[in-house]
Amino acid sequence: MAQYDVIIIGSGPGGYVCAIRCAQLGLKTAVVEGRETLGGTCLNVGCIPSKALLHASHQLHEAEHNFAKMGLKGKAPSVDWKQMLAYKSDTIEQNTKGIEFLFKKNKIDWLKGWGSIPEAGKVRVGDDTHDAKHIIIASGSEAASVPGAEIEVDEKVVVTSTGALELASIPKSMVVVGGGVIGLELGSVYSRLGTEVTVIEYLDAITPGQDAEVAKTFQRILGKQGLKFALGAAVSKVEVKGGKAHVTYALRKDDSQHEMKADVVLVATGRKPFTEGLGLDKLGVKLTKRGQVAVDDDFRTNIDGLYAIGDVIEGPMLAHKAEDEGMALAEILAGQAGHVNYEVIPGVIYTHPEVASVGLTEEQLKAEARAYKVGKFSFMGNGRAKANFAADGFVKILADKATDRILGCHVIGPMAGDLIHEVCVAMEFGAAAEDLARTCHAHPTYSEAMREAALACGDGPIHA
């Protein structure tokens, strides 16, 4: 078998980006992938297909609610579910084929099959064993179950995000277990398509860890769109009777028992590292208490020549976090100084309006007893947002009270996932809110709301 400088197990965002960067830096590289297509969960059954359905269902929403206001008259479009799924599949194919092209362009070998690590420096794929100076675990994550609950997933009536992306038909009712990113995005898709959606969340607020003011506003907006919520509720059982799912849950405030029926139940209670079949136990790889692969600052495990990145290690399970780690590790292996700034990793929820954040929340700053100031601006004061029926939400910038240095930003509103990167760049350069406020922004754009929020950290915004 060929001697490789690097073998990466997993072709998701962390794995394929790491592979390309390794190849660019002159390292002989191979990637192990058992799926029929490259791209991992993200491109095949995660980020990309869900965004396709979010986009399609949002166009339907616009046609039903806003077209007539703009003078676009006519019968509202009907939904061809099979064609919508075909559009989703075509989107997946375009992206996965794109990764395959990049592998060929960069002379990266695809070792087709599921990999294991029988000993340090070796990777087994099928009947073949390959040697490598460096082995990188980038095997991603899988859907997590609800602790202590009796739930049997069949991916037809009781589904994870994978099954929710390919339901045979649009259900009349759906219960989403978990009020996090995945549940709210897919819940929004089906709600727009006419499904009655109820979200059951164990905590007392949706989007755990999000800025509290944003989470409260987000829930209110989603409620206006038709989603229902049962908060502070612990699901104990989901069972299928006569083709219907029966969800049993208890309200934590009084332990009262409740039952809800639905055509489909989406279990969206987070994800866990996927390391099954790699042989980590036999190899003696150290894990954290939460089952993640333990690594040092250079992504090294306790086994010589073995590294890990992405969802299998600590930190937010985000594709772009995995990509950054893949880039950094490739540079480290090539003798450079790879680095990831974990304080500037944005998070985005792709509903409408979008929700985006980076840095610290008000709750975290209060817990640290840190002196800070808030600059806030509503999209109601943004001309472009009002013209586009997208004025719900606001921008909130948090800055150090003494130095004015930006500590965090939280946005709920149109194109929030794109707008947040202005603040990401600012934070990378250690910018103050005044730096952002004094930067000219084109008019009329949504980005003006970012400038106004920065101005609000000083003497005040102009359009409020």
394-406 burial, b for 16+ CB within 10 Å, e for fewer?
Answer: bbbbbbbeeebbb
Q: Of 65, 258, 421, 443, which is the active-site residue?
A: 443
Strand partners, 273: 141
Rounded-to-integer distance, Cα 213 and Cα 417, Å: 18
Residue 443 is among the residues annotated as catalytic for this protein: yes
431's CB contacts (< 8 A; 6+ apart) are 405, 406
Rounded-to-integer distance, Cα 169 and Cα 263, Å: 10
Residue with tokens 């980006």: 17
Q: Which residues are the active-site residues? A: 443
